[in-house]
Amino acid sequence: TYVDQLFLKKENRENYKSWVIIPQCPTNDRWPSLSSDDWNKNFENKITSPNKSLRLVMELMDEFIEKRQVNKQKVYVSGLSMGGMGTFEILYRRPNMFAAATPIDGNGIPPFAKRYAKKVSLWIFHGSDDTTVEPKHSLKMAKAIIESGGSPKMTLYENVGHGSWINAFAEPNFLKWIHSKSKK
């Protein structure tokens, strides 16, 4: 699979020594706390605590980064589709944890970008023909990050629908870019 080709490839394991945690969200839960993709309306009253699955991942991360083998200056997060939404939400909830993030085909809440825009390097990916999670969501998040003082990298894949993670993980500099980032 695309994940195996990226993270398990011998050359990548040798060049980018790291721990990789890939949680899977149960079918009866979501990573983001909002159930709608229309996140621009009344979100202030809807976000209180994370969903159970995201809370468990945050607890795992909080504990895992305390291990002496973990470089706390080089912790990264990536997610695709609903995981891209979860990436934006975990950045909001843990803005000081991550050095870089790569949300793919995701969505987020623009006003929350101010919590992480200046702290976390972002490379946002989306397919231009995505009808499942429209690319306008990644574009609005890039705009919000810029307006909050950040400088995100953005790749919009021409003629690609929902599934641009295949393209993103095939980017020749994907791992090099991520591993070049440390906390700001």
Rg (CA), the chain: 16
Residue 38 has pLDDT above 90, yes or no: no
Tens digit of each residue's pLDDT (9 = 90 or more) over 50-88: 888 999 999 999 999 999 999 999 999 999 999 999 999
Are the C-beta atoms of residues 87 and 78 closer than 8 Å to each other?
yes
| pTM (predicted TM-score) | 0.89
Tens digit of each residue's pLDDT (9 = 90 or more) over 131-168: 999 999 999 999 999 999 999 999 999 999 999 999 99
> 18: which residues sit within 8 A by CB, 6+ positions away?
74, 179
Q: CB count, 10 Å around CB of 132?
A: 12
